[in-house]
Structure 1
Amino acid sequence: MCGIVGAIGSRNIVPVLTEGLKRLEYRGYDSCGVAVLKDGALQRARSTSRVAELQEQVQADGLGANLGIAHTRWATHGAPAVHNAHPHFSHGPGAEAPNTKPGHIALVHNGIIENHEELRAELQALGYLFLSQTDTEVIAHLVDHLYEGDLFAAVKAATLRLTGAYAIAVFCAHEPQRVVGARHGSPLVMGVGGVDAGERFLASDAMALAGVTDQIVYLEEGDVVDLQPGRHWIEQAQAGEGGAVAHVRISEAQRPVRTVTAHSGAVELGPYRHYMQKEIFEQPRAIADTLEGVEAITPTLFGTQAEQVFSQIDRVLILACGTSYYSGSTAKYWLESIAKIPCNVEIASEYRYRDSVPDARTLVVTISQSGETADTIAALKHARSLGMEHTLTICNVATSAMVRECKLAYVTRAGVEIGVASTKAFTTQLAGLFLLTLTLAKLRGHLNAEAEASYLKQLRHLPAALQAVLALEPQVVAWAEAFARKDNALFLGRGLHYPIGLEGALKLKEISYIHAEAYPAGELKHGPLALVTAEMPVVVVAPNDVLLEKLKSNMQEVKARGGELYVCADGDTHIHAEPGIHVIRMPEHYGALSPILHVVPLQLLAYHTACAKGTDVDKPRNLAKSVTVE
């Protein structure tokens, strides 16, 4: 979602700011901007176009300085418009629209301020002028109101008034050698050094600083950081006696500088048209990398404390959102059928707000590509507040908040995923969840040596099996031409392939904007069959499993109503192409691991349908890659 980059040094840092924004473009945004302190005055450029256009505007305006902040905005409060784009300036008492001069404060913000209406009314009564509909402008005015010659003190005081989630970067016209940052509920990192050791940086993601510095400090909840040339310090908000909150100086040992190799978002596309296509075809390598070094099923795959933690659990609770929720839904079938352990899967944003029945002997598993998903982190904290301390995450970013929050972790190695619609992150999550299933099964006495060896052999063969599925792309392209002319689609699956149908429907709606739903095939006659006509393509996931004959009956129900069937079928299912039935033959049946293969044609279908429609595949409208607000 929104991205922050800030910098202070001795050179012109505007190119650093705009290049940092380009590396964050994959997260999704609808406006962008940069602000600097030049000749003692606040100056900025903002755009509702791409960062490339902002760079042209910056160059045309001659915007350059040794201190500045920049932002990509994904709209929450207020429409995507220039006046709502960040950075925001304060406009204190006495300012008049429309030609008001900026005040002293420039600020960018990720997150949502829940008490912004109350603060807005208070500040308006004091004479502050609001030029946007954003909650962010409230923070800029609040810092201005509290400013008494010390920006760090003003930001600390302001954070005590804010309710909600935020990561902010601020500078003041009166202090030309200072940038201040703060975070609560939204990620923020600091970079140390660059062209010279005195440079300091702020970013919402270490990737924004790739190629600038690899020396990263991960800020924690309640941290406020003061950046000046050649030095920085951090204070953290801590509750004292009687509920009073004070900021306490944090030592360097508590927030160490780490060497982080962040790959640039500007990865070469090579022969591919879009990052999504590239990432679909990277799945064999991503799976191989994720499984590298797995020679046996052992708890240590998940951390040194894993065996102790796993011995104290009787059930599993999976918390996730979006695509990650569907990987968790697939894992539920594995965990209950192979490991024989009860498993619940909850949408993270729903779980944290409902009354549930906690059990201290539950393994709480969070799943997230970025490891910064706000709803999932909040749900994890809620579960822990209920006394469920056994936590594990399946995550693609080793340095993320999710990994730091959980006792145990399995870090997938999908590599940087730039396309908003997740593909290789999903299949590598499934690989990690399958390893968790086998580990719990072995510890619970449900996995003998022969079965373990068989599963490991199948896992090692997965990259080759995926390569064979990717070779089916030309057949999927033919399907996509038909789908591009439709307004709706229905996906059907049974058993552990039902979540794969859900994921296929999500992919299609995300990037092609075609309305799509998924149902367990047995539910057809309980309502969805009323939607079936010749204009409603019906995609069927048809592995050769125990539910195959039931699934064939469901397909006949569709055909009898004039529906057009598009079937991804295993070779030995005896499902053949005929009028009204289009078949793509999967190379082989893969047993319990079949979902990892069957999802690939659905990814390709969504991708090529979107291409045929001419949509923005990698940056679909209204969506963001890393959802860091509730």
Structure 2
Amino acid sequence: MCGIAAYLGTEQAFPLLSLALEKLEYRGYDSAGVAVVDADGEIHLTKTINKVESLCRNDSGITMVSNVGIAHTRWATHGSPTLLNAHPHIDCDKKISVVHNGIIENFVELKNQLIQQGHEFASETDSEVIAHLLEQQMKEGLDFERAFLTLNHSLKGSQAIVAVNASKDPIICALRTGYAGGLAVFPDHKGGAITSDLSAILPFLKGTDVKPVIAFLEPHEMATISSQGITYKDENATPIVKNLISISLSDNVVEKKGYDHYMLKEIMEQSDSVLAATKDLIDFSSLQFKNENLTLLGNNSFNKVLLIGCGTSLNACAVAQTYFEELANLPTEIYSSSEFRYKKKFVDDTTLVIAVGQSGETADTLSAMSEIKSLGARLVTVCNTPGSQADQLAEESYFMNCGMEVGVASTKTFISSLSILYSLAIYIGSSTGYLTEEQVKHNIGDILSLPGIISATLKKSDSFKVISDHVNFSNNFLFLGRGNNYPIAVEGALKLKEISYIHAEGYAAGEMKHGPIALIDENLVTVAIATNSNLYDKMVSNIKEVKARNGLVVALVNESNNSLDNEVDFVIKVPEVSIHLAPIINVIPLQFLSYYIALERGCNIDQPRNLAKSVTVE
């Protein structure tokens, strides 16, 4: 979602901030802007409702000498994507500029109050309220830094805020309240930088011999960057000392490597994802777990497992429910983070909570994690981002290690998540003695075989395209699955609606007669996941019910199955694996189906409309 960058130092600010914004583009945005303070202490703004690169064609931000500025990529929440609504925002006197992630829940009340005090607003956003609040506080006698600290108490909701004042000796202030995206502070000897994403720190590291260390702001903490360095305070204005964390960042440019889209590249990388995700957990030469990286799971006795996530991560949780129930013999619940955070919670120190998310910055998941931790449950996370807020909140983190996923629609991180969750379930089953040593080695061997099977499935992409060419006429799709393929039906529908903007629903096949069957006709495409399982015959019955109503059916079956070749309109064939690992294989043709349909329709595959890679607001 929204991205933040700020810089105060000895280099030209605008080029560095522009590069930082380019690093933030993958998160999704609909507008962007930069504010810099010149040597005379005046603020200059440049904004765009196009790509970040278009900022560089606007002379207002480039020609002046300026060593301080703030920048932002916006994903619209309050107000449409226009230049006026784009960040940064300024106050009436053009003495303060602000960028903001989050939603101000009491902004209407604050805006009305400020209007009564004589403030004039230029935008429709809630974020502009912050600039005018600071202006008002300074009119009432507070300096910029103390005025900024009052935001802790005046704003309701979760926020990440950075502001700069117009002065010949300007300062930058940053503040977090709740979970609206993180803020990482990078100090150097004459100032520093702040970003909402570690990748955006990279432009500020070039040409320095400063050891790359980062401080992460916790909720209600403030950082102030001046030419003298960086200071930190808590919400009571008490100075605090932050732990500086050494970081290892690679400036490898994420390239498409000859593919037309990042999404296609990331689908094709999935044969590498399984072993990358599990290499920290399993020694594949001995088929043994690395106990030193699984201390929390190995040293505790759990009575139940709770899996939480959003979007594709929630679908991974739904698949993994079966893993923990059948391999670890533990009752397992799954919840959407956005729902779980508002319900009564039955967790304690015998509950293992696993929070899943590729970015580690999803607001709903972070809020749920924070509350879960306060209730004493044991908390771990599966994510793709070391140093993320989820990583910091969790007692133990299991990283996907699959490299940056640029496409907004998650693909390889789904398979990475499932690989880790499957491994964790086996480990718990092994630790408790529920699984025999022979069963453990057999299941680990199945993991080891997956890369080759995934590669074989990826090689079928041309056949998947042929089928997509026959069904892309439809504006309505129904995906059906049973057992642990039901979440794959939901994931297939999610991918299709995300990138092709087609209405698609994922349903448990046994529920078809309880509503969806009313929609079936020759214009509805039904994708039925019918790979081998103990529910295969029931799935075939569902397929026949669709065909009896003139529905068009695409059946996903194993390569050895020819029984449906003359019963359905199109057949997708995939290699056969164990029932537990079938979802990992079965999702791949559905990813391709979505990709090729979106391609045919001319959709923006890597950055679909209205979607963001990291959802940092509710």
Name the TM-score, length of structure 1 as normaliser. Answer: 0.92
In structure 1, how many angstroms separate the alpha carbons of the residues matched to 2:204 and 2:275?
30
- Are 2:164 and 1:171 equivalent residues in the alignment? yes
In structure 2, how many angstroms separate the alpha carbons of the residues matched to 1:498 and 1:628?
28
CA deviation map 1:269-305 (0-9, x unaligned): 1110011111111111122211225125547365433
2:237 to 222, 231, 247: 247
* Local SS of the residue matching 2:479: strand
How far off its partner does 1:491 sit?
Answer: 0.3
How far off its partner does 1:152 sit?
Answer: 1.7
How far off its partner does 1:455 sit?
Answer: 0.9
In structure 1, how many angstroms separate the alpha carbons of the residues matched to 2:309 and 2:59?
40
In structure 2, how many angstroms separate the alpha carbons of the residues matched to 1:299 and 1:286?
19
Unmatched tracts of structure 2, length 5 or more: 206-211
CA deviation map 1:95-134 (0-9, x unaligned): xxxxxxx421011001111111121122111111111111
Mean alpha-carbon deviation: is it higher for 358-367 or for 430-439?
Answer: 358-367
- Are 2:342 and 1:366 equivalent residues in the alignment? no
2:387 to 384, 392, 399: 399
> Does the 8 Å CA contact 2:556/2:572 hold for their aligned counterparts?
yes
> Does the 8 Å CA contact 1:393/1:410 hold for their aligned counterparts?
yes
Residue pairs, 1:75-90, within 5 angstroms: 75-90=76-91
Residue pairs, 1:127-526, within 5 angstroms: 127-147=118-138, 148=141, 150-174=143-167, 176-184=169-177, 185-186=179-180, 187-193=182-188, 197-213=189-205, 214-229=212-227, 231-237=229-235, 246-251=236-241, 254-263=242-251, 266-293=253-280, 294-295=282-283, 296=287, 298=289, 300=291, 302-308=293-299, 310-311=300-301, 313-385=302-374, 387-526=375-514
* Local SS of the residue matching 1:616: coil
The residue number in structure 2 matching 1:241 is none
Cα 1:560–1:63 change in 2 (3 A) is farther
Mean alpha-carbon deviation: is it higher for 18-27 or for 114-123?
Answer: 114-123
* Local SS of the residue matching 1:164: coil
How far off its partner does 1:59 sit?
Answer: 6.9
The residue number in structure 2 matching 1:8 is 8
Give the aligned residue type for 1:595. P
1:626 to 609, 614, 618: 614
* Local SS of the residue matching 1:592: coil
In structure 2, how many angstroms separate the alpha carbons of the residues matched to 1:175 and 1:116?
31
* Local SS of the residue matching 2:487: helix
* Local SS of the residue matching 1:591: coil
- Are 2:114 and 1:120 equivalent residues in the alignment? no
> Does the 8 Å CA contact 1:284/1:463 hold for their aligned counterparts?
yes
In structure 2, how many angstroms separate the alpha carbons of the residues matched to 1:112 and 1:60?
28
CA deviation map 1:216-273 (0-9, x unaligned): 2222111110112351111122xxxxxxxx122111xx32142231556x51111100
- Are 2:580 and 1:585 equivalent residues in the alignment? no
* Local SS of the residue matching 2:434: coil
Give the fraction of aligned pairs with identical amino acids, expressed as a percent: 37
Cα 1:303–1:64 change in 2 (3 A) is farther
* Local SS of the residue matching 2:563: coil
* Local SS of the residue matching 1:561: coil
The residue number in structure 2 matching 1:95 is none
The residue number in structure 1 matching 2:33 is 33
Give the aligned residue type for 1:432. I
> Does the 8 Å CA contact 2:408/2:608 hold for their aligned counterparts?
yes
> Does the 8 Å CA contact 1:575/1:583 hold for their aligned counterparts?
no
Name the TM-score, length of structure 2 as normaliser. Answer: 0.94
2:537 to 544, 549, 552: 549
> Does the 8 Å CA contact 1:146/1:158 hold for their aligned counterparts?
no
Mean alpha-carbon deviation: is it higher for 506-515 or for 600-609?
Answer: 600-609
In structure 1, how many angstroms separate the alpha carbons of the residues matched to 2:66 and 2:142?
22
Residue pairs, 1:533-572, within 5 angstroms: 533-572=521-560
In structure 2, how many angstroms separate the alpha carbons of the residues matched to 1:431 and 1:580?
32
CA deviation map 1:507-556 (0-9, x unaligned): 00000000000111122222211111111111111211111111111111
Unmatched tracts of structure 1, length 5 or more: 92-101, 238-245
Between the two proteins, the alignment pairs up a number of residues equal to: 603
> Does the 8 Å CA contact 1:35/1:68 hold for their aligned counterparts?
yes
> Does the 8 Å CA contact 2:308/2:355 hold for their aligned counterparts?
yes
Give the CA RMSD over aligned residues: 1.8
* Local SS of the residue matching 1:624: coil
In structure 1, how many angstroms separate the alpha carbons of the residues matched to 2:470 and 2:597?
8
Give the aligned residue type for 2:152. T
> Does the 8 Å CA contact 2:33/2:72 hold for their aligned counterparts?
yes
How far off its partner does 1:78 sit?
Answer: 1.0
In structure 2, how many angstroms separate the alpha carbons of the residues matched to 1:301 and 1:618?
38
The residue number in structure 1 matching 2:99 is 108
Give the aligned residue type for 1:249. P
In structure 1, how many angstroms separate the alpha carbons of the residues matched to 2:577 and 2:560?
8
The residue number in structure 1 matching 2:208 is none
In structure 2, how many angstroms separate the alpha carbons of the residues matched to 1:288 and 1:64?
49
In structure 1, how many angstroms separate the alpha carbons of the residues matched to 2:104 and 2:232?
22
CA deviation map 1:42-95 (0-9, x unaligned): 11011111111122124786355111111000011111111111000001xxxx
Give the aligned residue type for 2:150. A
1:612 to 582, 596, 600: 600
The residue number in structure 2 matching 1:42 is 43
In structure 2, how many angstroms separate the alpha carbons of the residues matched to 1:21 and 1:273?
23
